[in-house]
Amino acid sequence: MANQPDVASGIADVFDRTADTYDAVGVDFFGVFARLLLDDVGPLTGDRVLDIGCGRGAVLFPAADRVGPTGSVLGIDLSPAMIARTERDIAERGVNATVAVMDAQAPTLPGQVFDTIVASCVVFFLPDPVAALRAWHGLLRPGGRIGLTTFSGDDPRWSPVREVFGPYLPPELIWSMVNPANPMASTENFESALGSAGFTSPSSVIREHEITFACPEHWVEWSWSHGQRLFWELVPPADQAAVRAEVLSRLTPLRDPDGCLRMTQTVRYTIARAFPADGHGAAGQSYPVPPR
């Protein structure tokens, strides 16, 4: 795909701008998914874990706790600012984890090194998800496990809020969201994509999570603090104030009697295993991974 470098650069820039507030505005969101994903994929004491799209460490830190001092966790992310913040957090906490700036689409890592790979809320950002899954398969030891979360439906009560951004979305983005052939369009599609990438026995669980916001303004703050920021930044500066006012007006009727807003987020948790070794590792320059 000819435009992949530009896509990657644009995504990295968006997350660079969110790094200071990412997962840090008082909404329990990524951490909820991370805990359940780790329960499902079950990293063991002593495992080598790769956290793809590690962000500010929602998966990375609890994974480090689970593998203990005899294991290791490497987190990679395309955003240098995100990695810098997470690196400081690792130093402050003193955990056995490392991080590196790296493209999730094609990680430059040695093949068949990791026992477990986790990628939470990542794969739908990638230009070619199936190619990425194929690259990730080459990083796992024979029989290694992969665990992924992807979104599997939106709260219909919030459709009026989403519709505010519709006029500003490029046609190709809209099509990718509604295309029935998209690997993320259904559980069947996603598990088929994993199979085509070399994984075996994919299985998925769909879970619904209630996400709470203190008030409409809190939702707006939160939406600027992660990947949804892209939707705001597609709005021309001259329209920003009007769009914000319209969003707040559509959020107000969603408030519960206590003043909070509650959104149901549906998440697909998918687990699969790597086939036995076929001799094909990941291409590219190796990143040093701590020995067992």
The per-residue pLDDT for 224 is 97
Radius of gyration of the chain (CA): 19
Q: Domain residues of the chain, as ranges?
A: 4-154+181-212+265-274
Identify each DSSP E strand in the chain by its residue range: 48-52, 72-77, 97-101, 114-120, 140-151, 199-213, 261-274
Superfamily designation of domain 4-154+181-212+265-274: Vaccinia Virus protein VP39 (3.40.50.150)
Lowest-confidence pick of 30-39, 148-157, 271-280: 271-280
The yes-or-no verdict on residue 62 having pLDDT over 90 is: yes
Q: Answer yes or no: is pLDDT of 5 > 90.
A: no
Residue type, 14: V
Q: Give the whole-angstrom CA distance, residue 135 versus residue 111.
A: 9
**Whole-prediction pTM value?**
0.89
